[in-house]
Amino acid sequence: MTDTAGRGRADGPGQEGREGGAKEFVAPGDRGRTTIADGVVEKIAGMAARDVLGVHAMGGGLARTFGAVRDRVPGGGKSVTRGVKAEVGEVQTALDLEIVVDYGVAIADVARAVRENVISAVERMTGLEVVEVNIAVSDVKLPDEEDEEPAAPRIQ
C-alpha cells in the first residue's frame, strides 16, 4: 500500500524554527492520509492494458486457464488483475504485465502503446509516479486457434 498524503498535521514537518507557536494553515483536503492498495493499481493497469488494440489477453497460459475456471464459478467474476503485478511505494509504483498479442501486430508498437496507456491511467487516477512498466509477451493468438477460455454456457 502507499501513502499519498500524510502531510498536513500542524505539528508535522515545517514547524521547526517558528516563533510563538504560530500554526501554518493546512487546507482541509490535505489533512489526513490516503492509502492506495497494490490491487487498486493492478486493476487500473489491467483495464488500461486491455484497452490497447492488439492485446488479445492478459497473463500466461496457466493463469488464463485458472482464470477461465474461476470465471465460470458463480460469483467468481472476471479478474482484471490477471497478468498484472504492482509494487506500490509511498509516491511511486512499478508494474509487471504479461500479455498475449494478436497475430500480425507489431509487438514493439503494442508494448509501447500498452506502456503509455498504463502509465497515463495509473498516474492520472492515483497520483503515483510510474517508474517502470515491464511487459512480457507470453504468447501470440493465431487466427485459427481457439481461445483457451471456454465460451459462456448458453443456458444459465
Nearest to 97 by CA among 142, 151, 51: 51
pLDDT above 60 for 74: no
Query: Residue 88: how many CB atoms within 10 A of its CB?
Result: 24
Chain segment 94-134, per-residue pLDDT in tens: 999 999 999 999 999 999 999 999 999 999 999 999 999 99
Chain segment 9-58, per-residue pLDDT in tens: 444 454 444 555 678 888 888 888 889 999 999 999 999 999 999 999 99
Quote the cell numbers at residue 133: 512498466
Q: Is the pTM above the cut of 0.85?
A: no
State residue 24 phi and psi, 5-degree precision.
-75, 135
Nearest to 39 by CA among 149, 122, 136: 122
For residue 87, count CB atoms less than 10 angstroms from its CB and return exposed for 0-12, middle for 13-18, buried for 19 or more: middle
